[in-house]
Amino acid sequence: MNDYRPPGPEQVETPQPQDSPLSSVANRRGMRGLSKRLVADGLISEAAASRAEEVAREAEVSLLEHIIDAGMVPARQATLTAAWEYGLPIIDLDALRLASLPPAAEFPDKILRRLGILPLTRHGHRLTVAVPYPSTLAQLDELQFATGLTPEGVLAPVDQLGPVLESYLASTENSMLDELANVDDAIGELEYDEGATDITDEQQQVAAAGDDAPIVKFVNKILLDAIRRGASDIHFEPYETSYRVRFRIDGMLHDVAHPPFAMRTRIAARLKVMSRLDISERRLPQDGAIKLRISKTRSIDFRVNSLPTVYGEKVVLRILDPSSAQLGIEELGFTPEQRAMYEAVLDDPQGMILVTGPTGSGKTVTLYTGINILNEVERNICTAEDPVEIKVPGVNQVNVLPKIGLDFASALRAFLRQDPDVVMVGEIRDLETAEIAVKAAQTGHLVLSTVHTNSAAETLTRLANMGVAPFNIASSVSLIIAQRLARRLCKHCKQPADIPREALLSQGFTPEEVEQATLYEPVGCKHCTQGFKGRVGIYEVVPVSDAMSKLIMTHGNSMDFDAQARQEGHPDLRRSGLLKVMQGLTSLAEVNRVTKD
């Protein structure tokens, strides 16, 4: 064999592989292949090779590692031979400039030191690292899990790699200017109380598993990424042989990470420790909370729920950002007429405002927008919620706890003895709650609440079906808001849509609208998610007029109420959605998704 001539640092020498350089290549080809090549190249004798194989097996190390550690073959020559045997690239580090490497703060130094690996270059999500042995490739998934990058290994002689790695880590110890360091700083103030309950020995073991640095870094990064991307929910999901993390962004779920399956228990343990759940209980669902302080003036709460599944615990975090309720009524998506009706009823000293729609349609934000308008020093405001999602200074908020007898009805009764001006009830679910809310709305209190129905007309029918007397409905309900949330088209990339005239007419557009309006469709760019950025509300706002009250008193049905609302000029959800399409705020397909004919 010729003398070893390492390639320069600007070029990696890649031997022609006899097999794909996968992470398991060393195990697949075994020690024997390398042993034979070392003998063939005249680097060691056949007897020495056999003894080396035996010692390496007993020590449970690779043959390359043993012969280098034992001084049987110089590290550079042995590494080059291994590179040719396994078909792996090799790099010389002698002339490497540390300044050309990615910032060390982007990577967990414990993993770099333990594996003896050196980050070389980063292109997008791909990271090239120098590794001392082919067997190290099988351990790179740990680095992938901690960083979210896909590592690719090249061999480097260990006698070069060790000193360069130490210099690399030492030269950047004090650098906190890179992005990941800022991420860690921002997350450093996570507020949770690990000592809230006594911890058993078993719990300590589980908690310790969840406190590993890679686990902590991964969970913290996921939380902050979710906030930055505007997610409403985070799903940590175990399956039979895989584990994934998804964000719900603008109402749709998106894959964001696939950590190693073996980490599922440790990730769940970390989340449960942070949210003060019982970390040893894996058989029952649990609820908890996490507070994340992003700055001195802004903090975000996470509502946490764990659910035991057949493959492990699924954990879902709901992000409760108080700033979402402080956008202002002008940002919600009301038309000028709808906004005026809402604001007019908010000025009334008594009555009831009901917001209706499916889960995730933005009802809470609509209610809290009204609460923020009403939140002045001269008003006493009380809310009962399950649970409190957005904390508002100056408002008396109560978490209902049905299991101890504190339900919506009992909270409402207590409110009426607290001299309230405004009362908000998270949801009217039963006759008892409805009757107390009606009584409050008739006796000098403004009541805001939600009902799970599909339209304004169905809300009136629902109250009647609960058993509320028609007279009480007519004399207490002032305004009904039905709503949906549609994804907002990205202003940077939306483009005009080419939709046949007949198709538009069949969707509900008038001939005049078809001729005049320009409709848009999503495209997708660096500013958005698949052509959408944010969401816009679609509303049906119906005040209970004298004519509507008469219909209620005469036991009208939902079709009668709906016809009366159209006669009074209040567009239904479908029509409101089409108006948003003509304004270029959303697409026709999106309106079709969230509304019905």
> For position 171, what pLDDT does the model report?
60
Per-residue confidence band for 324, with pLDDT thresholds at 50, 70 and 90: low
> For position 199, what pLDDT does the model report?
36
For the segment 244-253, the average pLDDT, to the nearest whole number, is 92
Q: Considering only CA atoms, which of 261, 230, 258 is closest in space to residue 246?
A: 258
Across the chain, mean pLDDT equals 83
> For position 321, what pLDDT does the model report?
73
Q: Where are the domains of the chain?
A: 98-180, 210-320, 325-376+436-595
Residue 467, phi-psi category: left (phi > 0), alpha (psi -120 to 50), beta (remainder): left
The pair phi, psi for residue 498, each rounded to 5°, is -100, 95
pLDDT in tens, 379-434: 999 999 988 888 888 999 999 988 898 999 999 999 999 999 999 999 999 999 99
Per-residue confidence band for 182, with pLDDT thresholds at 50, 70 and 90: very low
Q: How many CB atoms lie under 10 A from the CB of residue 252? A: 13
Residue 4 has pLDDT above 80, yes or no: no
Say which residue the tokens 């007397």 belong to: 469
> For position 296, what pLDDT does the model report?
67
| CATH code reported for the domain at 325-376+436-595 | 3.40.50.300
Non-local (6+) Cβ contacts of 50 within 8 A are 35
Residue 549 has pLDDT above 50, yes or no: yes
> For position 57, what pLDDT does the model report?
81
Q: Considering only CA atoms, which of 481, 482, 540 is closest in space to residue 345?
A: 481
What percent of the chain has pLDDT above 90?
48
Residue 588 has pLDDT above 80, yes or no: yes
Residue 179 has pLDDT above 60, yes or no: no
> For position 31, what pLDDT does the model report?
67
Helix then strand then coil, % of the chain, to nearest 5: 45, 20, 35
Per-residue confidence band for 453, with pLDDT thresholds at 50, 70 and 90: very high
Apex CA 136: angle with CA 135 and CA 141, to 5°?
120
The residue type of 271 is L
pLDDT in tens, 259-309: 888 788 889 999 999 999 998 888 999 999 998 877 666 778 899 999 999
Lowest mean pLDDT among 44-48, 97-101, 187-191, 225-229: 187-191
Residue 355 has pLDDT above 80, yes or no: yes
For the segment 22-46, the average pLDDT, to the nearest whole number, is 65
**Residue 282 burial (10 A CB sphere; 0-12, 13-18, 19+):** middle
DSSP-based three-state secondary structure for 225: helix
Residue 536 has pLDDT above 90, yes or no: yes
Lowest mean pLDDT among 301-305, 401-405, 494-498, 593-597: 593-597
Lowest mean pLDDT among 130-134, 321-325, 398-402: 321-325
Per-residue confidence band for 100, with pLDDT thresholds at 50, 70 and 90: confident
> For position 192, what pLDDT does the model report?
44
Distance separating alpha carbons of residues 135 and 34, to the nearest angstrom: 13
Q: What sign has the CA pseudo-torsion 61, 24, 64, 146? A: negative
Distance separating alpha carbons of residues 302 and 320, to the nearest angstrom: 6
Q: Tell me the C-alpha to C-alpha distance, in Å, between residue 491 and each of 248, 528, 531.
A: 21, 9, 9
CATH architecture for segment(s) 98-180: 2-Layer Sandwich (3.30)
For the segment 37-57, the average pLDDT, to the nearest whole number, is 79
Residue 170 has pLDDT above 70, yes or no: yes
The residue type of 449 is S
Say which residue the tokens 């770099």 belong to: 112
For the segment 134-152, the average pLDDT, to the nearest whole number, is 86
DSSP-based three-state secondary structure for 204: helix
Helix and strand numbers, DSSP H then E, in the chain: 23, 18
E strand or H helix that includes residue 389: none
Tokens of 71: 């001084």
Residue 203 has pLDDT above 50, yes or no: no
Non-local (6+) Cβ contacts of 371 within 8 A are 325, 381, 383, 392, 395, 422, 424, 448
Distance separating alpha carbons of residues 70 and 60, to the nearest angstrom: 15
Which residues, listed in sequence order, are joined to residue 243 by a DSSP beta bridge?
238
> For position 524, what pLDDT does the model report?
86
> For position 28, what pLDDT does the model report?
38
For the segment 132-146, the average pLDDT, to the nearest whole number, is 87
For the segment 116-136, the average pLDDT, to the nearest whole number, is 89
Most confident of 161-165, 369-373, 477-481: 477-481
Residue 25 has pLDDT above 50, yes or no: no
> For position 212, what pLDDT does the model report?
58
Lowest mean pLDDT among 441-450, 475-484, 515-524: 515-524
Q: What sign has the CA pseudo-torsion 495, 500, 501, 507? A: negative
Distance separating alpha carbons of residues 582 and 380, to the nearest angstrom: 42
Which residues, listed in sequence order, are joined to residue 29 by a DSSP beta bridge?
none
Distance separating alpha carbons of residues 313 and 263, to the nearest angstrom: 12
* Whether 423 contacts 397, CB under 8 Å: no
CATH topology of domain 210-320: Beta-Lactamase (3.30.450)
